[in-house]
Amino acid sequence: MKAYVMTFIVGGIFCAIAQILLNKTQMKTAHILVTYVVGGVVLSVLGIYEKIIDIGYAGATTPIIGWGHALMQGTIAQIEAEGLIGVFTGGLTAAGGGVAAVLLFGFIMALLFNPKTKK
């Protein structure tokens, strides 16, 4: 149960920060997603994001910042295992599932559905 409460709180905080940025700055959705992903990469290599996941469970892995963390952890793991080539192969080893799923499901849904007429 504690995991779900912490998930709600941590996930909520990441979303509330995005809302503040939307309201108070000129940032658009793409800026926020890019900032979050790069932020995830940096927090991950510093070992900070691992601790946030220990606290926030899916509240830390579901926001797009967690995808940045997955990219970085994959890169580090492949560098440890394979050396320099890991710099190039590591990111998509760990975070590739999400990219592949977005491409496949995104394409299928765009084929299946038609845009709703704007009211």
Partner 1 sequence: MKDISNKEYKELYEQKRPKAKLSTNCLKAFCVGGLICMIAQAFNDIYTKVLGIGAVNAASFTSITMIFLGALLTGLGIYDDIGRFAGGGSLVPITGFANSVVSPALEFKKEGLIFGVAAKMFVIAGPVIVYGLSSSMIVGFIYYIVRMILL
Hey, which residues between 92 and 111 contact partner 1 (CB under 8 A)? 92, 94-95, 97-99, 101-103, 105-111
Q: Please provide residue 61's backbone torsions phi and psi, each rounded to the nearest 5 degrees.
A: -90, -25
Residues numbered 49 to 68 that lie near partner 1 (CB under 8 A) are 57-59, 61-68
x/- letters, 1..20, toward partner 1 (CB under 8 A): --xx--xxxxxxxxxxxxxx
Does residue 47 belong to the site contacting partner 1 (CB under 8 A)?
no
Min dist. Cβ of residue 51 to partner 1 (A): 17
Count of Cβ atoms closer than 10 Å to residue 31 Cβ: 13
Question: Looking at residue 118, what DSSP letter applies?
Answer: P
How far apart, in whole angstroms, are the C-alpha atoms of residue 60 and residue 70? 11
Q: Does 76 bind partner 1 (CB under 8 A)?
A: yes
Alpha-carbon gap, residue 44 to 100, rounded angstroms: 22
